[in-house]
Chains A and B, each alone.
Chain A
Amino acid sequence: AQKITQTQPGMFVQEKEAVTLDCTYDTSDPSYGLFWYKQPSSGEMIFLIYQGSYDQQNATEGRYSLNFQKARKSANLVISASQLGDSAMYFCAMGREKLTFGTGTRLTIIP
């Protein structure tokens, strides 16, 4: 069975600062993907970034990067230079085809 743990239910960060959202996972599958999604108050699920378990380099997408540490089974999301529009729920997920999600972290950016 797969399990995702997001230990930070809520975070407050000053605008323009970098923020790290924690995600640890557990799986016995040798091959898997790791994902981050953003869910603003409007409710849609927005795909942010993907990391394959065999990818050698950490994934980056604009201001988002995934700090993948396979031995520690962690896949933290780093948002550089946070903006007010980054305030949202953030979900970590893992799997191949069938995804398992964490319970999310509510990020609030303070002006």
Chain B
Amino acid sequence: DAGITQSPRHKVTETGTPVTLRCHQTENHRYMYWYRQDPGHGLRLIHYSYGVKDTDKGEVSDGYSVSRSKTEDFLLTLESATSSQTSVYFCAISVGTRRDEQFFGPGTRLTVL
């Protein structure tokens, strides 16, 4: 158990509304990530963070923003949700001395109507 929680676990929202997903870790790991999972695509990286206030874009960052004001929390925001953002969102952290091994949170299922 890597001590990662995500909230909410399920959310249904309407097109055009803002949505914020939260990832919380209890072990002060520096690197945190947001991925989305869609059928036929595996997981794709949205944004990642390598420290407080240090973030960078991933493969599918359009329409998403992130913030990290504390080590333990990494927030993913959809400023104006679209139906194409219906997906399962996973948060992950890097652990280990090589920073390579990533462990995932339980996921958030988001439906945009």
Seen from chain A, the residues whose Cβ lies within 8 Å of a Cβ on chain B are 4, 33, 35, 37, 43-45, 47, 50, 52, 91, 93, 96-104
What is B's interface to A at a CB cutoff of 8 Å?
Answer: 31, 33, 35, 40-45, 48, 50, 58-59, 88, 90, 92, 94, 98-104, 106-107
Q: What total of A-B pairs shows CB separation below 8 Å?
A: 58
- Among B43, B45, B59, B103, residue most surrounded by chain A Cβ atoms (within 10 Å): B43
Is chain A's binding surface mostly helix, strand, loop or mixed? strand
Instruction: Report the minimal beta-carbon distance from A73 to chain B, rounded to whole angstroms.
Output: 18
Residues on the A chain within 8 Å of B100, using CB: 33, 50, 52, 96-97
The interface residues of chain A lying within 8 Å CB-to-CB of B35 are 99, 101
Besides A47-B101, A99-B35, A101-B44, 7 other A-B contacts (C-beta < 8 A): A37-B104, A43-B88, A47-B104, A91-B43, A97-B100, A99-B43, A103-B42
Residues of A within 8 A of B43 (CB): 45, 91, 93, 99, 101
Q: Which of B41, B50, B101, B102 has the most CB of A within 10 A?
A: B102
Known interface pairs A44-B106, A45-B104, A47-B103. Does A33 touch B98 (Cβ–Cβ under 8 Å)? yes
* Neighbouring A residues of B92 by C-beta, 8 Å: 45
Are B42's CB and A98's CB within 8 A? no
Pair A101/B107 contact, Cβ less than 8 Å = no
Closest 8 CB pairs of A and B: A101-B42, A45-B104, A33-B100, A101-B43, A103-B42, A50-B101, A98-B45, A102-B42
Q: A52-B98, A97-B31, A98-B48 are in contact. Are A103 and B40 (CB under 8 A)?
A: yes
Nearest-CB distance from B13 to chain A (Å)? Answer: 20
| Chain A residues near B31 (CB-CB < 8 A) | 97
Q: CA A27 – CA B9 in complex, angstroms?
A: 34
